[in-house]
Structures are given as C-alpha cells and as structure tokens.
Amino acid sequence: MTASAPTPPFPSRLPNVGTTVFTVMSALAAEHEAINLGQGFPDFPCDRKLIASVNEAMLADRNQYPPMIGVAELRNGICQKIQNLYGQHYDPDSEITITGGGTQGVLTTILACVSPGDEVVIIEPAFDCYRPAIELAGGKTIAVSLQVTRDENGQVASYEIPWDALAKAINPKTRLLIINSPHNPTGMVWQKTDLDRLAQLVKNTSTLILSDEVYEHMVYDGAAHYSVASHPELAARSFLISSFGKTYHVTGWKVGYVAAPSALSKEFRKVHQFNVFTVNTPMQYGLASYLADASHYLNLPAFYQAKRDFFGAGLAKTRFKLLPTPGTYFQCADYSALNIPEAQLNEADFCKWLTTKVGVAAIPVSAFYDQPTESGVIRFCFAKQEQTLATALQRLQSL
C-alpha cells in the first residue's frame, strides 16, 4: 500500500500554487523527446568572450562575497548603459542593485513596498511570478486584462493596453502597478505615448511602478524600446528591472538588476540583503567586463529579428494565425483554424497534444491568467538555432 503524501504541519503560504507550466511542459518535452519551444531559453551558446571574462575573474580569485549591492564595476557599467540608452542617470552607489535574476528583483520589490492589505495592479496575461509574490507580501492582486481584438474570422488579431480598466483599478489602496514591456507572453511593446498616458494616470496618486523590462533589447523593425527610465515622471516612482540572462543568452546564471530612486532603493536593499544578500561574484566581474562593449546588446534586435522572421515565414505556411511580434523572443499563434479535431481542445490540452503527438512543445497563453481565459492562442519561443526551428516547423507544417 502506497502511503499518502504527508500533510505539512503548517498552513501553506501559497495554497493555490503548483508547479509552473514552464517546468511541466519542459518535463513533458524531455519525456517525449519533443522540440522545446515552450520555456524561454536559448539552445545556442553564449559568446565565448563572456565565458573567458568569468573564467579570468575566477582565476583572479574573485570568488568571495562581493558587496551586498553588487560589484562597483558592474553597477557603473549599468549606470552608463541606462544613461546612454534612455537618458536617465541612476547613481551606481545608491540607486542600482545587482539581483539574482529578474525574478528575485520582482519578489524583493514587492516585499519591500507592499504591506498586508495593499493592492497591486497587474495586467494579464502576466508572467507567473507576479501574483505569488504579491500573496507572500500579504497584498491583494487586482488584475485587468489586455484588450483582445479579433479579425473577421473570430481569431485573435492583437492585444492592447486596457486604459479604461487600468484607470478604474487604481485607487488610494493601490501601492504598486506592474507593467511589462516588451510583454511576455504576447510580444506587445509599450510606446512613448503609452508612457505619457500612464504618467497622467498615476500623476496625483501614490502608486509606485514596477517595470519588468527583461526583454528590453528585443524590439524589432527599427522601433525603440521606451523604458520608464526614459520618462522622468515615471522614473521618479519606478523600480526598473532587467536581466543579463535574457540579454547575453545565459538564463541559467540568474543575474539581473534593479534601478530605482535612492529612497526606493534603500527599502529594496533592506529586503534584498536578507533574501539573497548578494550575487555570484565572478559572474558579476565577467559581466562588467563584457558590458563595456555595447555592440552585443545593440546588435541583439537584428539577431533575434532574423529568427522571428525565419520562424514566422515557416509558420505562415500552416493554418496557425501569427499574432504581431514587435518584441520579446516569443511568437504567439492562434490555432483555432487548424483543420484537425484537436483544434477544439483548450489551450493546455492542445499544448500537451502538440508535445506528445507532434513533437513540438509550446505554452498555453491561458496559463498567464489566474482564471481560465481561453482564446485559442499558444506561445512559441524562437530563441533557438535555425536548425531547431526548421525541424519544429517541419513538424508543425504537417498539421
């Protein structure tokens, strides 16, 4: 007789949270030897110069605790990058903190400024770490959904910012508003006019902004990324979060940063020092050395646009309907017009079928909502080698 799983002798802090959809789909892909276009990580190596920079730091015995806020060389490099790109100066000593990836930056920001009963507004579909972090802080999540536009066939055509719903959601209890651009999972990108409108929306409130910008260097077709750092009114009330893992193809290193005004950074660091204290020393030095050459991140839009266009051209030969992808390394697609019975499945079941029977793993966009929200749209990751994408396309074109 199999013993039942023991019940923990304490109430769960996250009773409604299970294993993330990314872990589930990646495990399913591995089990069935499917091509994993689900979880967002590259299958190609990073620049060997970056590896060499980290190796040099290790050999130079930079292997002990760094400063809690991060090594000065890296913070100075980030300061210069933000100023060059967005025109905003953050003091590297009091306003820039190195984090254990973007996720730790999100959690620490929320724990630092959200108290029990405070409301936090998120925009769904939303990355899955936002809501649990709010719950751990004792806050109340107020979710508004991106507006979905549909074409004449009823298929999803685009996602738009829900301005009226945002205006209604923000009130005196609103401590924090979380925005994400370029947006995961839809690929939507905020424009300068959007930041202007947001600034007007929060102007006479005490609402803070958490701006998740980990895909900042993946904006295509010659367009610019408009960071909250580029908008002085928003920068004054914002935590800007970004990630070296996404930018330099090293997602497993889990190194990111948070830039915020000194008063906000002071509170952020009070929490940061006790939930991670500091971040891997030689990798910080290696990243600092590599960051001095801006050519990598400046060339990143063209690099990923080529992959987007290659994958999109192949997917266009199927009955999948491609949604616009102005940013990120994700391609959303509506599968409802596929001429197969499985096209009637809900998004989660369709993705499981696609993984186990077709051999390509994707992520259901419905997984980015708290309540079931079916639109017939799934997300593919195109941060892969061309041969990986070509093999996946061959399988998808058989549908």
Domains of the chain and CATH, by start: 21-46+296-396 (3.90.1150.10), 64-294 (3.40.640.10)
DSSP string for residues in 52-66: HHHHHHHHTT--S--
Pairwise CA distance, residues 361 & 33, whole Å: 10
**pLDDT score recorded for residue 5:** 60
Q: Residue 7 has what pLDDT?
A: 76
Model-level pTM?
A: 0.95
* pLDDT per residue rounded down to tens, the chain (399 residues): 445 566 778 899 999 888 888 899 999 999 999 999 999 999 999 999 999 999 999 999 999 999 999 999 999 999 999 999 999 999 999 999 999 999 999 999 999 999 999 999 999 999 999 999 999 999 999 999 999 998 888 888 889 999 999 999 999 999 999 999 999 999 999 999 999 999 999 999 999 999 999 999 999 999 999 999 999 999 999 999 999 999 999 999 999 999 999 999 999 999 999 999 999 999 999 999 999 999 999 999 999 999 999 999 999 999 999 999 999 999 999 999 999 999 999 999 999 999 999 999 999 999 999 987 889 999 999 999 999 999 999 999 999
**HSE (CB half, 13 Å, CA atoms) of 372?**
5
Check: CB of residue 75 under 8 Å from CB of residue 92: yes
pLDDT of residue 365: 96
